[in-house]
């Protein structure tokens, strides 16, 4: 026993001072020592020969150079040690990796109904807003993004409006104008169908899923563009471009006035772009929002009505090319921002925000949800891939 204790104590010095020259002799000493497995865990740790493990699962293990240490021994009784010769070290390594390989983890896809609690958040949660992008490719748009989009639309419309002079249609809409607006309408209908298909309607009760769909729709480029097209129709009306038939004499010819054609175009462009889902939204969210949050509606309506007169006061002709573009851009922005505020406020009211908080909380939450960082990450993080993003294309390209 004295000799064995001497060997055990001597091994500590050998392990501490071991160099490349003495490694072979030290390995031989360990191989010839039959009692090495009886050394307690404290001495093993001090001599750096084994590593104590507290097993969390039967698969936990540790590979320490020459020694393969497994955690199959009961707690408090140390660990088992398998001495691995140099020639078979690779085999031990492969076996240990197989034992330690982590089990497969099944990822759960985020579905639309998982995002329903977001409508109740006050203030809105940024991480959930990122999930909205992952599921729908749509997030809340900051006001300056909306303003820039409205200006791009207004400039494009004024450029396209010049093409009717080359077609010698000075007092009516040109063919290129009609084709451009028609292509926009088709793109928005397809985007509406995509948003509709992304909703798992069986995930929760029908009203909650519909409320979520309205939230996604009102923040999508479909809604933004549809409101802009209503302002385009108003521009056509004030420029007296609807005096003649738009769809042909047999459709809107005899007996039709310019405001009749304007109303028909608004119905087609504003409501048709959403596959007429906007008609239902008008009943469930727009009209109640205009009543409950009437200050927002009155301020927006007053601004839009007085915009042309205000330009005259500052010396800008609202009938000029620049005046028409200015009216279209600013009125579109005010209309989009105000309707989004009223509709999303009603969505949060239906989700219980008004009962849990205050009258102005839904309006504040709508403002707080428009984060540039989230919008940038959703649409511009991948660089030129944004030009494959339908929501981005509808805002700035089409």
CA torsion, ordered 18, 22, 24, 27, to nearest 10 deg: -40
Residue 120 lies in a domain: yes
Among candidate residues 263, 231, 257, 228, the one with its CA nearest the CA of residue 245: 257
How many domains does the chain divide into? 3
Please tell me whether residues 310 and 368 are part of one structural domain.
Answer: yes
Please tell me whether residues 178 and 277 are part of one structural domain.
Answer: yes
Among candidate residues 331, 318, 320, 298, the one with its CA nearest the CA of residue 232: 331
Please tell me whether residues 342 and 378 are part of one structural domain.
Answer: yes
Please tell me whether residues 61 and 122 are part of one structural domain.
Answer: no
Residue 105 lies in a domain: no
Please tell me whether residues 374 and 280 are part of one structural domain.
Answer: yes
Please tell me whether residues 91 and 179 are part of one structural domain.
Answer: no
Choice between 292 and 103, residue whose per-residue pLDDT is larger: 292
Say whether pLDDT at 389 is over 50: yes
**What is the DSSP secondary-structure string of 72-138?**
-SPTTS--EEEE--GGGHHHHHHHHHHHHPPPP-PPPPP-GGGGGGGGG-SSPPHHHHHHHHHHHS-
Please tell me whether residues 57 and 117 are part of one structural domain.
Answer: no
Lowest mean per-residue pLDDT among 71-80, 314-323, 332-341, 357-366: 71-80
Residue 258 lies in a domain: yes
Residue 162 lies in a domain: yes
Whole-model pTM: value is: 0.71
Please tell me whether residues 363 and 316 are part of one structural domain.
Answer: yes
Q: CB of 342 within 8 A of CB of 296? A: yes
Contacts of 197 (CB under 8 A, 6+ apart): none
Among candidate residues 369, 355, 380, the one with its CA nearest the CA of residue 140: 369
Residue 130 lies in a domain: yes
Residue in this structure with the two tokens 């020969």, named with its chain if needed = 49
Please tell me whether residues 123 and 222 are part of one structural domain.
Answer: yes
Please tell me whether residues 96 and 164 are part of one structural domain.
Answer: no
**Ramachandran category for residue 122: left, alpha or beta (phi over 0 → left; psi -120 to 50 → alpha):** beta
- Three-state DSSP class for 246? coil
Structural domain containing residue 240: 112-396
Residue 106 lies in a domain: no
Choice between 188 and 48, residue whose per-residue pLDDT is larger: 188
Lowest mean per-residue pLDDT among 208-212, 353-357, 361-365: 353-357
Kindly report the number of other CB atoms within 10 A of residue 44's CB atom: 20
Q: What pLDDT sits at residue 53?
A: 36
Please tell me whether residues 120 and 190 are part of one structural domain.
Answer: yes
d(CA 274, CA 193): 8
* Residue 111 exposure: Cα atoms within 13 Å on the Cβ side: 10
Residue 107 lies in a domain: no
Please tell me whether residues 86 and 217 are part of one structural domain.
Answer: no
- Res. 217 pLDDT band, cuts 50 70 90: very high
In this predicted model, what pLDDT tens digit does every residue of 160-184 receive, in sequence order?
999 998 988 888 899 999 998 899 8
Residue 273 lies in a domain: yes
d(CA 200, CA 135): 11
């Amino acid at each position: 026993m004295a000799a064995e204790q001497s060997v055990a104590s001597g091994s500590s010095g050998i392990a501490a001072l071991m160099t490349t020259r003495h490694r072979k002799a030290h390995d031989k000493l360990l191989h010839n020592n039959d009692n090495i497995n009886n050394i307690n865990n404290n001495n093993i740790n001090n001599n750096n020969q084994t590593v104590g493990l507290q097993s969390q699962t039967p698969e936990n293990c540790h590979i320490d150079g020459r020694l393969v240490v497994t955690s199959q021994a009961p707690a408090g009784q140390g660990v088992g040690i398998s001495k691995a010769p140099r020639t078979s070290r690779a085999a031990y390594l492969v076996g240990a990796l197989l034992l330690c390989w982590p089990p497969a983890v099944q990822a759960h896809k985020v579905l639309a109904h998982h995002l329903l609690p977001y409508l109740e958040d006050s203030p809105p949660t940024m991480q959930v807003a990122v999930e909205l992008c992952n599921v729908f490719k749509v997030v809340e748009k900051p006001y300056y993004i909306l303003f820039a989009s409205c200006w791009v639309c207004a400039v494009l419309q004024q450029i396209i409006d010049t093409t009717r002079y080359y077609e010698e249609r000075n007092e009516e809409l040109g063919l290129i104008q009609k084709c451009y607006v028609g292509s926009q309408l088709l793109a928005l209908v397809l985007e509406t169908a995509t948003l509709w298909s992304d909703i798992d309607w069986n995930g929760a009760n029908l009203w909650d899923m519909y409320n979520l769909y309205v939230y996604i729709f009102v923040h999508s480029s479909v809604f933004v563009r549809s409101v802009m097209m209503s302002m385009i129709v108003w521009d056509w009306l004030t420029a007296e471009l609807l005096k003649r038939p738009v769809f042909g004499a047999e459709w809107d010819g005899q007996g039709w006035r310019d405001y009749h054609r304007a109303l028909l175009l608004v119905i087609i462009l504003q409501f048709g772009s959403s596959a007429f889902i906007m008609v239902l939204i008008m009943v469930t969210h727009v009209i109640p929002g205009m009543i409950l949050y009437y200050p927002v509606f009155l301020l927006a309506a007053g601004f839009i009505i007085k915009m042309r007169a205000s330009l005259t006061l500052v010396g800008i002709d609202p009938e000029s090319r620049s005046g028409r573009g200015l009216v279209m851009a600013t009125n579109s922005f005010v209309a989009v921002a105000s309707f989004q505020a009223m509709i999303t406020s009603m969505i949060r009211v239906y989700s219980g925000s008004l009962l849990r908080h205050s009258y102005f909380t839904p309006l504040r939450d709508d403002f707080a949800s428009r984060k540039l960082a989230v919008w940038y990450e959703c649409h511009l993080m991948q660089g030129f891939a944004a030009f494959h993003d339908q929501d981005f294309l509808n805002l700035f390209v089409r």
